[in-house]
Amino acid sequence: MESWTAPSVPALPGHGPALRLHDTASAGLRETVRPGAERATMYVCGITPYDATHLGHAATMVTFDLVHRYWLDQGLDVHYVQNVTDVDEPLFERAERDGTDWQVLGLRETALYREDMVALRVLPPRHYVGAVESIPSVGKAVAELLDKGAAYRHESGDVYYAVEADPNFGSASRYDRETMLRYARERGGDPDREGKRDPLDPILWNAPRDGEPAWESPVGPGRPGWHIECACIALDHLGAAIDVQGGGNDLIYPHHELSAAHAESLTGEHPFARAYVHTGMIGLDGEKMSKSLGNLVFVSKLRAEGVDPAAVRLALLAQHYRADRQWSAAALAEAELRLGRWRAAVERELAVPAGAVLTAVRERLADDLDTPGALAAVDAWANETLAHGGEDPSAPTLARDTIGGILGIDCTR
Ligand code: 5CA
Ligand code: ZN
């Protein structure tokens, strides 16, 4: 798949401290990149393109964009991969409902997503990979898992992964079995299906079903299961041990637990990721924003209404990424005011020296992406500049590059 383009991060003086993020697997902060490493790798679970990008997706993508930007600012060689789940049941169902082709639907919504990401100043991943593109790799991986005895064929022809094959199963999510069963049921698993070795075993390869697309593979015709797609895309583009596996906290189980299990069974290396990083859910009126509830605010709709995407981004950054949080018109209005103050300060020729802002923004972000702290540091600079001004004509430029480069908020207008 084509990625998208965006302005790169400007060279800023010095470097911030090593980035530490909360790791779900160790339930604590973890340095994201090995000390001394020059390369950083990240895999983020992207959209299932059957509808437009809503603010929940946007919040998650903006969060990992901060990781991307922080690493670039540190001079690291960043390898960031994101997928598009462009073949899955929701696409078939929506296409059928709307009388369209699932591939046309997927391409249309993916194109809109890319436009939204450009507007939100999300830097493009190095590789943006569709599930369909990964099918040859998945076919080989499923055959290998069958050979290794980590997978088995169900009487229906579907191939399942055997969770008992993974000695570390459960270590990414740390959930107990009861919680796993509940989430498997709610999030696309089939724990109640007869004929499986363990109710938690997930599907690796779907045998052909009426009305669904199928591809040839070494394990027969069919199409991939969900978790193995992400495992294969990550392994193919990033290798065995990645630095960050990212996504919303709705993916902790089963998706991230099982894609890690698949990857580890294929490579023999544990852990699949140094840090499993999960964003909180964006909600509206007290409920999680989700397609099933229909309480969605689309980025493209806000753009069409003339809302400045920089204000949307700033509103999303105003609270900490791990918190489940609510979108509201008031939050957007507050972000618009803040953006106005920042832009006015950046336009002042004489401004308060901005070195302290750069240092504070880096320090706050390095501490598990403390965006409220980073925004407060910029506020303090902007307020002081607007109240008194200073005597440093280079300060507006440094402030603009800090805000634009590290936080991704465009202050040039
Ligand atoms: N295609 C799969 C991942 S392989 C998927 O979960 N697609 S998605 O379209 O449902 O979500 C795309 C990304 O946005 C995922 O990382 C997901 O965890 C995150 N996400 C979904 N809903 C929300 C929400 N309400 N708030 C924050 N993040 C969300
Ligand atoms: Zn995924």
User: Rounded distance, CA 223 to CA 213, Å?
Assistant: 7
Ligand 1 centroid, distance to 279 Cα (angstroms): 10
Which residue, among 186, 179, 231, has the nearest Cα to 205 in the 3D structure?
231
Beta bridge partners of 129: 83
Mean pLDDT of 12-31: 97
**Between 313 and 394, the higher pLDDT residue:** 313
Beta bridge partners of 275: 244
Ligand 1 centroid, distance to 155 Cα (angstroms): 32
Question: Mean pLDDT score of the chain, rounded to an integer?
Answer: 96
Q: Which ligand is nearest to the CA of 51?
A: 1
Per-residue pLDDT tens over the stretch 131-173: 999 999 999 999 999 999 999 999 999 999 999 999 999 999 9
Residue 282's pLDDT is: 95
Atom 28 of ligand 1 has which residue's CA nearest to it? 56
For residue 155, how many other CB atoms are within 10 A of its CB?
8
Residue 120: CB within 6 Å of ligand 1?
Answer: no
Atom 12 of ligand 1 has which residue's CA nearest to it? 47
Q: Give the pair of three-digit tokens for residue 299.
A: 């980025």
Number of the ligand 1 atom closest to the C-alpha atom of 60: 28
Residue 71's pLDDT is: 98
Per-residue pLDDT tens over the stretch 76-97: 999 999 999 999 999 999 999 9
User: Rounded distance, CA 333 to CA 180, Å?
Assistant: 40
Residue 358: CB within 6 Å of ligand 1?
Answer: no
Per-residue pLDDT tens over the stretch 298-330: 999 999 999 999 999 999 999 999 999 999 999
Residue 259: CB within 6 Å of ligand 1?
Answer: no
Report yes or no: 55 and 388 within 8 Å, Cβ to Cβ: no
State the pTM of this model. 0.97
Residue 48: CB within 6 Å of ligand 1?
Answer: yes
Mutate which of 251, 277, 292, 297 for ligand 1 pocket (most atoms within 8 A of beta carbon)? 251
Ligand 2 centroid, distance to 245 Cα (angstroms): 9
Per-residue pLDDT tens over the stretch 272-305: 999 999 999 999 978 888 777 888 999 999 999 9
Q: Which residues lie closer than 8 Å to 390 by C-beta, 6 or more apart?
A: 350, 351, 352, 353, 384
Percentage of the chain surpassing pLDDT 90? 93
Q: For residue 413, name the pLDDT band (cuts at 50, 70, 90).
A: low
Paired sense of beta strands 77-84 and 127-130, if any: parallel
Residue type, 360: A
Angle of helix 135-148 relative to helix 257-267, nearest 10 degrees? 70
Ligand 1 centroid, distance to 125 Cα (angstroms): 16
Residue 134: CB within 6 Å of ligand 1?
Answer: no
Residue 282: CB within 6 Å of ligand 1?
Answer: yes
Residue 295's pLDDT is: 85
Ligand 2 centroid, distance to 47 Cα (angstroms): 8
Mutate which of 48, 250, 256, 298 for ligand 1 pocket (most atoms within 8 A of beta carbon)? 250
Atom 3 of ligand 1 has which residue's CA nearest to it? 45
Paired sense of beta strands 223-224 and 203-206, if any: antiparallel
Residue 160's pLDDT is: 98
What b-and-e string marks burial along 287-300, b requiring 16 or more CB atoms within 10 Å of the CB?
Answer: ebbbeeeebbbbbb
- Find the length of the chain: 413
Mutate which of 44, 48, 55, 60 for ligand 1 pocket (most atoms within 8 A of beta carbon)? 60
Number of the ligand 1 atom closest to the C-alpha atom of 280: 27
Per-residue pLDDT tens over the stretch 190-211: 999 999 999 999 999 999 999 8
Paired sense of beta strands 28-31 and 20-23, if any: antiparallel
Residue type, 251: L
Ligand 1 centroid, distance to 347 Cα (angstroms): 37
Residue type, 389: G
- Coil, strand, or helix at residue 103? helix
Per-residue pLDDT tens over the stretch 329-365: 999 999 999 999 999 999 998 999 999 999 999 999 9
